[in-house]
A and B are shown apart, each in its own frame.
Chain A
């Protein structure tokens, strides 16, 4: 270990930032492995987990069950993460506090993190690229209607109130979209296929 201290942005680490990120990432990984803080297996597992295991499908299953089971809906909107763990046993219900906010015919909810990229990753996976951009983060809190119309072709009627959740703490938000009409005969599994990632952020409506 080094006893060097670097506390300002003028440190050499900043000059490192001009190097090839692939080489920088490999160099950091190899030092962390050598120091016993990480393993090659853990790196592979992190990548596989976010590519294959954690994604919007978990949220979609929770939404579909909430549409078909009023008791579950109650649990989902009161203790979000525990209810989500019911539909996917791989979800760690001690990893985040989740609040699920319901869209209604006259209220639409939209989630953003203006300060960084806070997102209910345990339920929806890592955020899509657009969610992390200054373009989204800047505009979602003041001009959400225009943003949704122009960028997502989501047109809210004037009498639908839009409520924006700026997710700035470890309490994370997910939107429970409205169930689309004409879906009474669909199974829970078929309903889950209708639920998009963007509808659970509030960028789209399913009705």
Chain B
């Protein structure tokens, strides 16, 4: 989808926040670690996959997306995914939230899986290569390809800024899960390539100070340049 998340090349977002020390905690508030744990529980119990998670974040309205701290957006997306999967009841989540706001609830200390029991499921989700379902690649290293100018309304990992541009295949990574299907609960795989673009072909020579941009593109995103 052409959502607000597709930020490459946009202007006007201003300065970066101050950097943090290398050993700083990644969590600014105590609850942010709880959100990370809920995300790990979602993947580890196979309630949702990475592409469903990304697509959930992408569907937040642009004002919320840009105006809300990172882990608060994650909390919203993860909560929605658990509710949409029918694992957590929405009314119950609301009631429990109100109870915690009123200081009338306590966290249970018993329960389900340990982190080490969740990790294998999480790792499976991050491992997208599917060599057992290898597809014959249509392109090889050195081929010139052009990115299709398509604007799907669902999830895609093909950012707008490469659509219509031509580049060179510089690596073939084998066959991987195809995110555009996977985000919608469908099982599909595609050959995956790394494609190198001249920055001038993406932005215009006068509007970039980069030399090259490299990105992974699934086979369905591209065609031979001369077609």
- Chain A residues proximal to chain B, CB less than 8 Å: 1-7, 9, 11-14, 16-17, 19-43, 45-47, 49-51, 55-57, 92, 94-97, 114-117, 125-130, 132-139, 141-146, 150-152, 161-166, 168-171, 196-198
The interface residues of chain A lying within 8 Å CB-to-CB of B22 are 55-57, 196-197
Contact between B8 and A138 (Cβ–Cβ < 8 Å)? Answer: yes
| A37 near B87: Cβ-Cβ < 8 Å | yes
Q: In whole angstroms, how far apart are the Cα atoms of A152 and B18 in the complex?
A: 10
Residues A38 and B41 in contact, CB atoms below 8 Å apart: yes
Complex partner residue of A28 from B19, B75, B157, CB under 8 angstroms: B75
Contact of A39 with B36 in the complex, beta carbons under 8 Å: no
In Å, the complex CA distance between A128 and B157 comes to: 22
Q: Which of A46, A95, A117, A161 contacts B123 (CB 8 A)?
A: A95
Name the residue of chain A whose CB is nearest to the CB of B16: A130
A67-B116 Cα distance, complex, nearest whole Å? 33
Measured CA separation A141–B119 after assembly (Å): 33
A23 and B100 contact, CB distance less than 8 A? yes
A29 touches B16 (CB 8 A): no
A28-B93, A38-B41 known; A1-B86 Cβ under 8 A: yes
Q: Which residues of B contact A197 (CB under 8 A)?
A: 22
Write out the residue numbers on chain B whose beta carbons fall within 8 Å of the beta carbon of A135: 13-16
Output the nearest chain B residue to A140 by Cβ-Cβ distance. Answer: B8
- How would residues 95 to 131 of chain B score, 1 for a CB under 8 Å from any chain A CB and 0 otherwise? 0111111000101111111110111001100111100
Is B215 positioned at the interface, with any CB of A under 8 Å from its CB?
Answer: yes
B142-175 Cβ-contact flags toward A at 8 Å (1 or 0): 0000000000000001010100000000000100
User: Which of B11, B161, B210 is the most central at the interface, judged by chain A CB atoms within 10 Å of its CB?
Assistant: B210
Q: Are the CB atoms of A95 and B122 closer together than 8 Å?
A: yes
Q: How far is the CB of B201 from chain A (nearest CB, A)?
A: 12
Closest CB in chain A relative to B118 CB, distance in Å: 6
Size range of the chain B interface in the assembly = 35 or more
| 16 A-B interface contacts by CB (under 8 A) | A6-B83, A22-B100, A26-B100, A28-B38, A34-B111, A36-B112, A37-B41, A38-B37, A42-B118, A46-B115, A97-B127, A129-B17, A130-B16, A135-B13, A135-B14, A168-B159
Min CB gap B155→A, angstroms? 10
CA–CA, A97 and B128, complex, Å: 9
Once A5-B86, A21-B75 are accepted as A-B contacts, the answer to whether A141 and B161 lie under 8 Å apart by CB is: yes
- Given A21-B29, A37-B112, do A32 and B76 touch, yes or no (CB 8 Å)? no
Closest 3 CB pairs of A and B: A114-B8, A33-B111, A47-B33
- Is B216 a contact partner of A168 (Cβ separation < 8 A)? yes
* Beyond A6-B90, A32-B111, A142-B9, 5 additional pairs, beta carbon < 8 A: A13-B83, A21-B72, A38-B37, A47-B33, A47-B34
Contact B215 A166 (CB under 8 A): yes
Cβ contact within 8 Å between A49 and B92: no
Chain A residues within 8 Å of B202, by CB? 141-142
Is the beta-carbon distance between A138 and B94 smaller than 8 angstroms?
no
| Contact B37–A47 (Cβ < 8 Å) | yes
State whether A166 touches B93 (Cβ < 8 A): no
Q: Are A46 and B72 in contact (CB under 8 A)?
A: no
Q: How far is the CA of A56 from the CA of B19 in the complex (A)?
A: 14
Query: B139 an interface residue at 8 Å Cβ cutoff?
Result: no
B30 touches A168 (CB 8 A): no
Q: Smallest distance from the beta carbon of B130 to chain A beta carbons, Å?
A: 11
Contacts of A26 in B (CB 8 A): 31, 34, 100, 105, 107
Q: Which of B56-89 contact A (CB under 8 A)?
A: 57, 59-61, 64, 66, 68, 70-72, 75-76, 78-80, 82-84, 86-89
Contact among A35, A132, A142, A196 for B210, CB-based, below 8 A: A142
Shortest beta-carbon distance from A138 to chain B in Å: 4
